[in-house]
Amino acid sequence: DVKVTQSSRYLVKRTGEKVFLECVQDMDHENMFWYRQDPGLGLRLIYFSYDVKMKEKGDIPEGYSVSREKKERFSLILESASTNQTSMYLCASHSPAGINTGELFFGEGSRLTVL
Amino acid sequence: AQSVTQLGSHVSVSEGALVLLRCNYSSSVPPYLFWYVQYPNQGLQLLLKYTTGATLVKGINGFEAEFKKSETSFHLTKPSAHMSDAAEYFCAVSEGGADGLTFGKGTHLIIQP
């Protein structure tokens, strides 16, 4: 089974702090994604990566950056956290090999609170 | 660009009653369609998916969905609701690109005892 692991389930940070959210997948998937989930808004794509050191902006990249130094690891970075970034963050991965249906495999989520 | 509309942010049914969660999509190419379920404070788990072939697809926990191209719909049903079905349900569409899925805003399913 595919396993996507997010390092922190719950974080509390202060405004202005730098925040790192880490995600690791163990199925050699090429593509990895960071989504943000808010009540009534569903999941919104922040960034995705289709290869090591490659990244693409999603729908809401402002205030975020990402890093993909190794194939299995995809990090989301908040350079200076703000209260409007309080949210649930979900990491996902998939492999486009074969029939690429787009099916995603998700981690458990990281709930970030910024005070 | 693809999009997904889920009708009803909250749906309440009695235990044992039919569950119907509605999803309509738009896509410029034949889509791949998904339903995911999310239990409180957890990630998303795949419930079922339509890729090609049979338009009625069965998933886990007794759920099924039917792809209706003429109606651009992919509604999720379960004949008899159970208390454990209480969760958030997301419909999603893909055109097979590298940019993942486009999700609906979600439907919170409430089961009344």
According to DSSP, the residues that pair with A65 across neighbouring strands are: A77
The identity of residue B24, as a single letter, is N
Q: What is the token pair recorded at A6?
A: 């997010």
- Choice between A32 and A101, residue whose per-residue pLDDT is larger: A32
* Average pLDDT across chain A, whole number: 92
Closest CA to A76 of A21, A18, A8: A21
For residue B99, the model assigns a pLDDT of 73
pLDDT digits (tens, 9 = 90+) for B49-88: 998 888 999 999 999 999 999 999 999 999 999 999 999 9
Structure tokens at A94: 């998939």
**CA distances for A81 relative to A18, A48, B83, angstroms:** 6, 20, 38
B96 touches chain A (CB under 8 A): yes
Confidence class for position B28, pLDDT limits 50, 70, 90? confident
List chain B residues with CB under 8 Å of A108: 42-43
B31 touches chain A (CB under 8 A): no
A contacts of B89 (beta carbons < 8 Å):
none
pLDDT exceeds cutoff 80 at A53: yes
Instruction: Report which residue type is found at A5.
Output: T
pLDDT of A15 above 90: yes
B95 touches chain A (CB under 8 A): yes
In whole numbers, what is the pLDDT of chain B averaged over residues?
92
pLDDT at B91 (0 to 100): 96
Q: How many CB pairs under 8 A join A and B?
A: 68
CA distances from B111 to B4, B52, B82, B85, B104 (A): 24, 32, 7, 7, 21
pLDDT at residue A64, as a whole number:
97
Interface residue B98 vs chain A (CB under 8 A): yes
